[in-house]
Structure 1
């Protein structure tokens, strides 16, 4: 059951082209939503203005090689290891979400485009990775939602109280959860139940990707860019803080206080 391509089985009532076109539409939805978010919140304008001001204040202008080195450090800490989190539990939950989403997304694309029908035998590793990624998302997202959110931990709110910032993680977790339920029911051979659950799965997945302007989805693109810019400012000496404040910040930085 967990080693067979769930999307190939959809050909009983859907053309393989449905999922292939659907994925393209969702990619376009994310791109359009991110652009709208940047324009609406003027994030791009703010970022470019900050970059220009930083370059004008720089005491040690960086060359191409130095910028590449800063980009590698950003990739290694803020992207691949979520090292900006001082709270280890939050870091682990984000890593589960990040790598689970990557596994889930890549394996979905491979199964939908490379092995679209039951006649094209899907190597068992791809369905396994799809399910492993889904479980990582459920564990990491559930852990964060119920036990690590600031309003739950700090403000003692009910873990079931939803706020707009929760839209991304809630729609993501529910989407993959119903994806697994749909996969299980489909393997049992119930056509009507399969169609209903697949419809719920697609509906929740669509909500995840079209709600970019109102969720934290776009933050996946903003955070690396902001982290890179911050590192450039630190290395080039273009930090806008006064010298004394900069010195205190350097002493109190996570890199200097972590044991």
Structure 2
């Protein structure tokens, strides 16, 4: 299972360009959904207004070098290590899900565009595709069934779903369906079973990338922007947030 490219096996029923067009359509769907979400929620206007206010209230101007350092710190903290999460369980869950998702996406693109049919797919690529999906299920499942606020604190059933759960639910379903489809292929479950599993995989994957306008998918782009802006405001003195309390000044 870890050594075969599921999209190469799919070429027995569909020409490679079908999946290539599908992937491009999903990229367009993500871009369109993000832009629509920006417009609907006014996030773009909010960030632009925030930058103008910060620039006007700045006590000092930051140079290009300082801005680059702040960008690197944001990437190293909020993006690479999920530093916005204080509790290690939430952070580990998020890291597993995030890195798994990236690995899953990159290897999918490689298998669909670089190794569609004729060229043999390196085992490391197909293995990483499976590992990425498993990481998504491990981190995302941990969050979905255990760490979600309404589950952990309010004792709701994890299956009491609301629109805020659309992204995580579709992501888990897509990863799980992809692994099941791959297993059915390698277990030689037959053409009908393989195409049914593939159809389920495509349905959940389309839901994942086609629902950006209504899900939390776009938050992956907003959070680094907000974190970077916060660092800039703290550095140039324009921040309107209260400073953290100094424990030494609190009466016992």
Report the TM range for the smaller structure's normalisation.
over 0.9
State the secondary structure of the residue aligned to 1:214.
coil
After superposition, the Cα gap between the structure-2 partners of 1:63 and 1:196, relative to the gap in structure 1 and judged at 3 Å, is same
Please list the CA deviations of residues 56-107 of structure 1 after superposition, one character each: whole Å capped at 9, or x if unmatched.
0011211111011000000000000001101110100100011001110000
Matches of residues 68-217 of structure 1 in structure 2 within 5 Å?
68-117=68-117, 119-189=118-188, 190-217=190-217
**Residues in 2 aligned to 1:55 and 1:215: alpha-carbon distance in whole angstroms:** 32
The TM-score normalised by the length of structure 1 is: 0.93
How many residue pairs get aligned? The number is 246
Matches of residues 26-41 of structure 1 in structure 2 within 5 Å?
26-41=26-41
**Residues in 2 aligned to 1:97 and 1:3: alpha-carbon distance in whole angstroms:** 23
Give the CA deviation at 1:155: 1.4
After superposition, the Cα gap between the structure-2 partners of 1:141 and 1:159, relative to the gap in structure 1 and judged at 3 Å, is same
State the secondary structure of the residue aligned to 2:11.
helix
State the secondary structure of the residue aligned to 2:232.
helix
**Residues in 1 aligned to 2:224 and 2:105: alpha-carbon distance in whole angstroms:** 20
Please list the CA deviations of residues 167-195 of structure 1 after superposition, one character each: whole Å capped at 9, or x if unmatched.
10110011110101110111122100000
Give the CA deviation at 1:251: 4.0
The TM-score normalised by the length of structure 2 is: 0.95
Give the CA deviation at 1:250: 6.0
**Residues in 2 aligned to 1:35 and 1:159: alpha-carbon distance in whole angstroms:** 30
After superposition, the Cα gap between the structure-2 partners of 1:200 and 1:157, relative to the gap in structure 1 and judged at 3 Å, is same
Please list the CA deviations of residues 187-243 of structure 1 after superposition, one character each: whole Å capped at 9, or x if unmatched.
1221000000100000000000010011110000000000000000111110124xx
**Residues in 1 aligned to 2:38 and 2:245: alpha-carbon distance in whole angstroms:** 31
Matches of residues 211-226 of structure 1 in structure 2 within 5 Å?
211-226=211-226
Give the CA deviation at 1:163: 1.2
**Residues in 1 aligned to 2:246 and 2:98: alpha-carbon distance in whole angstroms:** 30
State the secondary structure of the residue aligned to 2:6.
coil
Q: Does 1:67 align with 2:67?
A: yes
Note the aligned Cα RMSD (angstroms): 1.0
